[in-house]
């Protein structure tokens, strides 16, 4: 059975209540062994037609080519979008969940107009004073969150490809920092780089 594509049900209810700037927020790279964690925030225009973003899904359900194509469409249509990062050193110092919060705060601070309400995939931002709603499987059901998931993933993947040029021995362009057998073998051979999360060393 085909799962329904993300829709604007939550956004439309908020727009109808007079809340114009609704931001969807999602992250990428949380479980990786190397590279930053990324968070994206997207504000879609209240007049948007969902069919204009008909191919947007939770980024994990899309191919790399689909993600790249629809990332461009999202950036064209959005009123505002931004991506924020927390570095491997910040992840080691803070822990992964606070680092995700930090990356999301950095993305939100770059939005203009500034959002009035946040829709998030599962987690809440405890230090953010904006009203917010955390939704289970939000990246699969809510279009602005799905759009944020696509931008977080594509921008982080692009960053990992750039890091691969500096650290080619780890194969970051292929696995994007996740703990594949090839990546773990490279770590065993070359040790941890400054782009690795040292606190994740014993995971898996």
Q: Quote the pLDDT of residue 4.
A: 72
The encoded tokens of residue 107 equal 């993305």
Q: Which of 116, 51, 48 is nearest to 79 (CA)?
A: 48
The encoded tokens of residue 154 equal 């594509």
The Cα 172–Cα 38 span in angstroms is 16
92 close to 199: Cβ distance less than 8 angstroms: yes
CATH number of 9-166: 3.30.420.10
Residue 2 has pLDDT above 70, yes or no: no
Tokens 């949380």 correspond to: 30
Average pLDDT, the chain: 94
What average pLDDT score do residues 174-196 get? 96
**Terminal Cα distance for the chain, rounded:** 33
The Cα 202–Cα 204 span in angstroms is 7
**Prior bond of 113 cis (ω within 30°):** yes
Residue 160 has pLDDT above 60, yes or no: yes
Q: How far is CA 49 from CA 90, 99, 112, in A?
A: 39, 34, 21
Q: Which of 14, 20, 33, 16 is nearest to 192 (CA)?
A: 33
Q: What is the pLDDT of residues 82-93, one digit of tens each?
A: 999 999 999 999
The DSSP output letter for 115 is P
């Amino acid at each position: 059975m085909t799962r329904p594509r993300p829709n604007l049900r939550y956004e439309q209810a908020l727009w109808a209540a007079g809340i114009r700037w609704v931001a969807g927020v999602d992250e990428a790279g949380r479980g990786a062994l190397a590279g930053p964690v990324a968070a994206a925030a997207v504000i879609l225009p209240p007049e948007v037609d969902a069919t204009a973003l008909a191919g947007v899904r939770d980024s994990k359900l899309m191919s790399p080519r689909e993600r790249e194509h629809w990332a461009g469409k999202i950036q064209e249509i959005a009123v505002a979008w931004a991506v924020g990062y927390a570095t491997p050193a910040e992840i080691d110092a803070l822990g992964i969940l606070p680092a995700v919060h930090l990356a999301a705060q950095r993305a939100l601070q770059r939005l203009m107009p500034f959002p009035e309400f946040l829709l998030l995939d599962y987690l809440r931002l405890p230090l953010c004073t904006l009203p917010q709603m955390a939704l289970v499987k939000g990246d699969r059901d809510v279009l602005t969150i799905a759009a944020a998931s696509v931008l977080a993933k594509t921008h982080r993947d692009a960053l990992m490809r750039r890091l691969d040029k500096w650290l080619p021995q780890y194969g970051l362009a292929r696995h994007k920092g996740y703990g594949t057998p090839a990546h773990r073998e490279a770590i065993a051979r070359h040790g941890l780089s400054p782009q690795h999360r040292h606190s994740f060393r014993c995971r898996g």
